[in-house]
């Protein structure tokens, strides 16, 4: 019995050690808030570390005291009397009320300080409205008159302000390396901001490719797990060029298959839900497709290749179970025409 107790104790200690070592091993690849790219992310990481230290002291102090008392005062054969009791010991009780209160007051102070610095949006920040939908992210740049989806393009070295809300249920906007999670709540706008200062940092190394990756972080229904997003941080000149391209209207000079696709899109059911600026398609249920071909991401989680696009248009729910874009009966020729048309929307 004694031996087994000791074995259990040793195994528990090893498991605890394993827990402490694991983050070190796992850190290499996945995006992590412990490796932030913005001043707001850094403040939050610093607060995390600041909270972690007292938390570890308290954890090991309390667990150590429990272990000590359990072993030292356990019932042994032959002992009958209860150990000395400390109930009603005024000085001890005052001490263990005041000590946690002091620790909590400190944490409260640090947290409020961090909150204030994280929420102080610079007045010259570029404004982006971030709108959660089941199950994709919409990005509107009201001052630039641009609307995109899935892929958030921002300039490097400039503050960017996010006005975050939702069109349906509660979502949560989260790009681990940028800033804290912010809930997207229908009827309410939550504000946060970032400034990414290191251009070129993102080529490789961070996330699975050159982009920063984000994820809806509040369960929002069937396709929640597919509700990803990507952030592209461009140097100022490249960002300007991107803005100009996005502001341009749809190309008018389409011929052949692309022109057929446009007619199908604009006169068929696609226009009921999608907008393509410069055409009569002005639907607003689904993503704005004005410059769909310039995006790397399709339906929030796929690479925007012609093969994936063909599969998507043929049967969206088969590609993304739960999606609100229904399946339509289209001939292979019609799908080809739509794919060619959408691929021309650069």
β-strands 160-166, 126-133: how paired? parallel
Nearest-approach distance from CB 237 to ligand HEC, in angstroms: 26
Given the complex with Cu ion, which of 220 and 338 has the nearer CB atom?
220
Tell which positions 130-159 bind ligand HEC, by CB under 6 A. Answer: 135-136, 149-150
Candidates 66-74, 156-164, 182-190, 219-227: pick the segment binding Cu ion (CB under 5 A): 219-227
Nearest-approach distance from CB 150 to Cu ion, in angstroms: 14
* Bridge partner residues of 148 (DSSP): 139
String of DSSP letters for 13-56: HHHHHHHHHHHHHHTTSS--TTS-SSHHHHHHHHHHHHHHHHHH
Tell which positions 187-246 bind ligand HEC, by CB under 6 A. Answer: 223
What sign has the CA pseudo-torsion 263, 268, 270, 272? positive
State the DSSP H helix or E strand holding residue 77, giving kind and residue range, or none if neither: none
For 86, the token pair is 């400390």
Given the complex with Cu ion, which of 136 and 239 has the nearer CB atom?
136
Closest CA to 253 of 120, 318, 317, 344: 344
The site partner of 323 among Cu ion, ligand HEC, none (C-beta below 5 to 8 Å per kind) is: ligand HEC
Q: What are phi and psi of 303, to 5 degrees?
A: -70, 140
Given the complex with ligand HEC, which of 175 and 270 has the nearer CB atom?
270
- In the chain, how long is the greatest CA-to-CA distance? 98
Among the listed residues 287, 291, 314, 345, the single contact to ligand HEC using CB under 6 A: 287
Matching residue, tokens 């008018």: 252
The site partner of 285 among ligand HEC, Cu ion, none (C-beta below 5 to 8 Å per kind) is: ligand HEC
DSSP summary character for residue 225: G
The site partner of 34 among ligand HEC, Cu ion, none (C-beta below 5 to 8 Å per kind) is: none
Tell which positions 291-330 bind ligand HEC, by CB under 6 A. Answer: 292, 298-300, 313, 320, 323-326, 328
Contact residues for ligand HEC, defined by CB under 6 A:
135-136, 149-150, 223, 265, 269-270, 272-274, 285-287, 289, 292, 298-300, 313, 320, 323-326, 328, 338, 342
């Amino acid at each position: 019995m004694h031996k087994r107790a000791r074995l259990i104790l040793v195994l528990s200690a090893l498991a605890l050690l394993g827990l402490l070592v694991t983050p070190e091993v796992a850190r290499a690849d996945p995006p992590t808030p412990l490796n932030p790219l913005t001043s707001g992310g850094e403040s939050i990481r610093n607060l995390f570390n600041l909270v972690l230290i007292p938390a570890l002291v308290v954890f090991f102090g309390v667990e150590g005291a429990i272990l000590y008392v359990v072993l030292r005062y356990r019932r042994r054969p032959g002992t009958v009397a209860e150990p000395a009791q400390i109930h009603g010991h005024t000085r001890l009780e005052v001490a263990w009320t005041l000590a946690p209160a002091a620790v909590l007051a400190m944490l409260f102070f640090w947290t409020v300080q961090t909150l204030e610095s994280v929420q102080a949006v610079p007045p010259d920040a570029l404004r982006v409205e971030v709108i959660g939908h089941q199950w994709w992210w919409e990005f509107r740049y009201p001052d630039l008159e641009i609307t995109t989806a899935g892929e958030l393009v921002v300039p490097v070295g400039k503050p960017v302000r996010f006005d975050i809300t939702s069109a349906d249920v509660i979502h949560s906007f989260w790009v681990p390396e940028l800033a804290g999670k912010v809930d997207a709540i229908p009827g309410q706008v939550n504000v946060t901001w970032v400034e990414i200062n290191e251009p070129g940092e993102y080529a490789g190394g961070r996330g699975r490719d050159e982009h920063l990756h984000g994820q809806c972080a509040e369960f929002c229904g069937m396709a929640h797990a597919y509700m990803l997003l990507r952030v592209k941080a461009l140097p100022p000149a490249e960002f300007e060029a991107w803005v100009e391209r996005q502001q341009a209207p749809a190309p008018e000079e389409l011929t052949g298959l692309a022109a057929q696709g446009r007619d199908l899109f604009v006169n068929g059911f696609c226009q009921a839900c999608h907008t393509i600026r410069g055409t009569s398609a002005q639907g607003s249920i689904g993503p704005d497709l004005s410059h769909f071909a310039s995006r790397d991401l399709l339906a929030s989680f796929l690479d925007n290749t012609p093969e994936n696009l063909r599969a998507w248009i043929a049967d969206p729910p088969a590609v993304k179970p739960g999606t609100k874009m229904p399946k339509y009966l289209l001939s292979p020729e019609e799908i080809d025409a739509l794919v060619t048309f959408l691929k021309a929307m650069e």
